[in-house]
Structure 1
Amino acid sequence: MTDAYYPGHDPIDYYGNGGFRFGEMSHQGAILFLPSGVHRWDVETVATLSKDHFDKVLAESHDIEILILGTGKNIVPLPQPLAHHIRQSGIKLDVMDTGAAVRTLNILLSEDRAVAAALFPVS
């Protein structure tokens, strides 16, 4: 399977119905919004997250100040060992529901901040 990838940093215009719209395109499923662009994120639920799911984030950690994790309709805490693994790389982690995560991401993008996001879709 090829990596679905969009090289832009456009704000997210819409989220819902299991996906996201940004840069005049849309994507169904979870996404990683990184300094290198927007990538498909192959993960089903917060409960199934592992360190491996954050490899792309950590590979770009030198360009990321804060990682926003949008956990879907409701806030779901990240297991402490996984949160510690991310923070150990020097990245600040903020967990919130996906709606708040999208709004926060868009604000931080408008301020030209070094932000990344890992977003679960909302149905």
Structure 2
Amino acid sequence: MTEAFYPGHDPIDYYGNGGFRFGTMSHQGALLFLPSGIRRWDVDEKPTLDSLTALMREKDDIEILLLGTGKFLTLPDPEFSAAIRAQGIKLDIMDTGAAVRTLNILLSEDRAVAAALLPVD
């Protein structure tokens, strides 16, 4: 499978129908918004630390991780949250719509933000 990567930090213009639109691109499926750019996120319904390998490579450049859990707020396993916070990253968990809106605000403030976003149908 080809590595899906967009090297920009454009705000997310649209989410829904199982995907996202940003810059001049669109993507179907889950998304990682990282300091290096935007990547496909290979994850099932529930995030795991293994699914965040790309994020952990950039942890020193991340202050806040927004976890968008889809249409509804769903809390991840406590071990997952504890492991993220143990890396010195603030974790904010919310539904994907709220995560997208918060991401766009934090980007406009030039904050060191990352987002792991599950799609909304």
TM-score for the superposition, normalised by structure 2? 0.98
Q: Deviations over 1:38-76 (max 9, x none)?
A: 000011202xx3211111111101100000000000000
Write out the 4+ residue segments of structure 1 that deviate beyond 6 Å after TM superposition. Answer: none
Match of 1:23 in 2: 23
Partner of 2:114: 116
Partner SS for 2:2: coil
Paired with 2:110 and 2:34, the residues of 1 have a C-alpha distance of 13
SS of 1:105 mapped into structure 2? helix
What is the number of equivalent residue pairs in this alignment? 121
Q: Please, what is the CA RMSD of the aligned residues?
A: 0.7
Output the CA distance in 2 between the equivalents of 1:65 and 1:33. Answer: 13
Q: Report the counterpart of residue 77 of structure 1 in structure 2.
A: 75
1:78 Cα offset (Å): 1.0
Determine the structure 1 residue equivalent to 2:58: 60
Structure 2, gaps ≥5 residues long: none
Tell me, in whole angstroms, the C-alpha distance in 2 between the residues paired with 1:89 and 1:16: 31
Q: 1:94 pairs with 92, 95, 99, which one?
A: 92
SS in 1 for 2:65: strand
Identity among equivalent positions (%) equals 68
Q: Distance in 2 between matches of 1:51 and 1:91?
A: 13
| Mapped partners of 1:95, 1:50: distance in 2 | 14
Code of the residue aligned with 1:44 in structure 2: it is: D
- 1:35 matched to 2:35? The reply is yes
Runs (5+) with no aligned partner, structure 1: none
Q: Name the SS of the counterpart of 1:54 in structure 2.
A: helix
